[in-house]
Amino acid sequence: MKKVNRVLTILVFIFLYIPMVVLIVSSFNTGKDITQFDGFTLRQYVRLFQDRSLLKLLGNSLLISVLASFVATAFGTVAALGIHGLNPRLRKVAMTLTNIPMTNPDIVTGVSLSLLFVFVGTRFFGQRNCLTFWTLLIAHITFNLPYVILNVMPKLSQTDASLTDAAMDLGCTPIQAFFKVTLHEIMPGIVSGAIMAFTMSLDDFVISYFVSGLDFVTLPVEIYSYTKKPLQPKIYAMFTLLFLLILVLMVAMNLIQMYGDKKKTASRGAGI
C-alpha cells in the first residue's frame, strides 16, 4: 500500500510540474515551436526587458500586490487579534465567516465587487467610469484578508498569554506589551500571511478582470487577450520569471514558519 501511495504521489507531482517544465524549456528555445527544441538562447529574456509595455504591466501588478498585501496584512493582523479575543463560540462563527470568501468562487466574488463598485460610484458619486485603480486595490485587499487572518490565528493560539501579563506587570501599557511581546511572537505568521497575500494578488486574474478599469490594467488581465493569438516566446520568459518569484516566496514562507517553530520550541525547552 505504501508503494502505491508513493507512486500516486510521484504521478501527481509530475502532472503538476510538467507544464512548468515545458514552459521553462520553451523560454530558452531558439525556435517558436514548443514541441521541438532547436537550441539554447537567452534572447527571449533580452526581448522581454526591452518591451516597455510588458514591463509597465508587470510594474502595475507588482504595485497592486505590494500595496494590497501591506494593507491586508495590517488589517488582517488587527482582525486576528480581535477574533482571538472573542469567546470560543463567537470565535468559531467569525472564523466561519472568514473562510467563506476563500471557498466562494472567484467569479462570484469578482462580479459581486464589480456590481458594488458600480452601484456606489453611480449612486453616491455620479461617476460612470467607476472602476479605477482604487477599486482594483480594494478588491485585492478584500480577498487577501482571510489568508492573513488564517496565518496569524495559529500563532496567536500558540502564544503564551502570561508573557503579555508579565510585561504589563513590569510597567508596559497594553500597546507597549503588544509591540514588545505579542508582535514578536506572531511575527512568523504575519510574514507568512504577507507573502501569501502578495502571491495571491500577483496571480489573480478573475477578480481583477471584473473590477479593473481602462486606466490601470494588471499583467494577468492583459495576458488574457494574448490567448486569442499565438503567444510570443518572450511571454514564456515572463511566465518563467514569475514562477521562480512565487517559488522563492513560498520557500521563504516555509522557512520562516520552520524557524519560528524551532525558535519557540527552543525557548520553551530552555524555560523548562
Give whole-number Cα distances, 248 to 199, 207, 220, 243, in Å.
11, 25, 20, 9
Percentage with pLDDT > 70 across the chain: 94
Amino acid at 211: V
pTM: 0.83
pLDDT of residue 136: 93
Domain ranges of the chain: 57-265
For 211-222, the pLDDT digits (tens) are 988 888 888 888
- Decide: 202 and 65 in contact? Cβ < 8 Å: yes
pLDDT of residue 76: 94
Asked if residue 71 has pLDDT above 90, the reply is yes
Rounded Cα–Cα distance for residues 146 and 161 (Å): 24
For 115-173, the pLDDT digits (tens) are 999 888 887 776 777 888 999 999 999 999 999 999 999 888 888 778 887 888 778 88
Q: What does the mean pLDDT of the chain come to?
A: 85
pLDDT of residue 78: 93
- Decide: 102 and 146 in contact? Cβ < 8 Å: yes
For 220-249, the pLDDT digits (tens) are 888 887 776 677 788 888 888 888 888 888
Mean pLDDT calculated for residue range 7-31: 86
Fold of 57-265: MetI-like fold (1.10.3720)
Mean pLDDT calculated for residue range 96-108: 88
Report residue 272's pLDDT band, with 50, 70 and 90 as the boundaries.
very low
